[in-house]
Structure 1
């Protein structure tokens, strides 16, 4: 067992990864190799280590690779060369992470260009970019550079898949199965190429165009009709300061703007007629009692320097004079001058 373990360590020591002058796409060869190191060497290291120290059941800890001190705590004793091997393994994993980051950063513009195609699908643009980045990382993890296509071609499918899956899971209030969401996407793409087809809503025509069963198309059309329930707090634009739907939705309890304008103009005319026959003291009492900040008779009298009773007398006199002036100027059948002044 010891001889086999040391042969394994010697094989790991011979692994070399040239880092100078490495291009972005050619680094995939090293990524695939180091990915194998990450997935395979750890498990093999634990197998040989367990055989070396003869600890039954230690293989269960092969997925719990923490640090060297934890290894010593788990196994109690380690082979003399285990420390060197562990450092090599950690170095390889750091190189792996650097190459994956380099690949992801080199293809961020691809994610942005694909995310732009999904405008107004129930999520913000930055959400689409974030989901696309997740798809890009998955593509880098699964990419095989021995096949006859580039990483960007391969990653495009994963990015679109990640964005469409996020729309199915998060965008709509009612969540639909993934297969139905795929049919809905095909129907929408067909509507984009033929706007008249969206108006006709002919399931047989759409089914023939996108090569999907008519029953599935009918189900997709029904789902599209009830798919999106927009939040009133959703921004109308892409910027953070954009207005939300709630700022533009009509309030059924708010007054009609035209009627409110007529009312304000009518109050102004009534005020002009009434105040034309009142002296300054009477105007002040009316303002205090029926203005924007209604005051009691005591408060109105205090403002004039008179008693509450005197303020009441001035008010009654002013209302009488104003009422007679209104009846001379306006139709008395529609004028309630107290409410109009208020």
Structure 2
């Protein structure tokens, strides 16, 4: 994904090349508004929790509905440089990380000065916004790596996170007293989780439900820290002021899908689908009987004249599954419908006699 024009204009040449290489038709400014304009922004309590995460004295890893999806911690600048080593990366991602690694980070006073300048009109504000975006691209990488393995590639996660970063720059208000990285982390997560809900799942989760899931995860985290154990569905429901049945429903929704092509066994020579019974499929005995019946039908049709066989095949859809009327068959052969009826009757009489001779009734039963 290429970022905004201000970001590209002020970035190093290598970064601009990487941005152009990663451009996707579906990741443009229009998508940003489709995904994010209906989000009002973080509440003060959410920003406080990001900027000053509660200490878990028991050292518990908090879990909500899916234990494999622990809540993310805020990404700090000094951790961002570790992202490249923490995950397996492809050459395009490696080039991207190398490019953004050359962009200097902002110090506290410099960040505040640029944050103030972002609100200025014209080119000055544009340059400030571009500088703030570029200085926080590593923050996006740090947040994005926490969502690996959920259906989107690392590069796609970074692209979606960059959309959230742009939105954060557009809406940041330095007078509220929060660090930009705190505010941006919230928007980056919003963009990534919405993209995962919209694109990654086989069964799509509506965006509004994703926000409900995230809210319940946060409630579960607070309850775990308060109670010193994993909260029950009833406790989460009471804290969230929702019916307990809704918690159970959401548990079912967030369960990950698994491909029937998933390898099974040490040698991975089998697939999960091989061990799932298709209850609609015929059993071995029925399949063999059906095959024998088809062979007998072909032999029976061979006892008819060419015209009789063609009429029967068309009337009963034996060849292509399409059943034809007497009128349609008459037009095909250039005869009346009554003549077709006579040919059909004669052919069926022959077949009935042949069936009794061959004792085919057992196949039909």
When normalised by structure 2's length, the TM-score is 0.43
Which structure has greater helix proportion? 1
Greater radius of gyration (CA): 1
Higher relative contact order (CA 8 A, sep 6+): 2
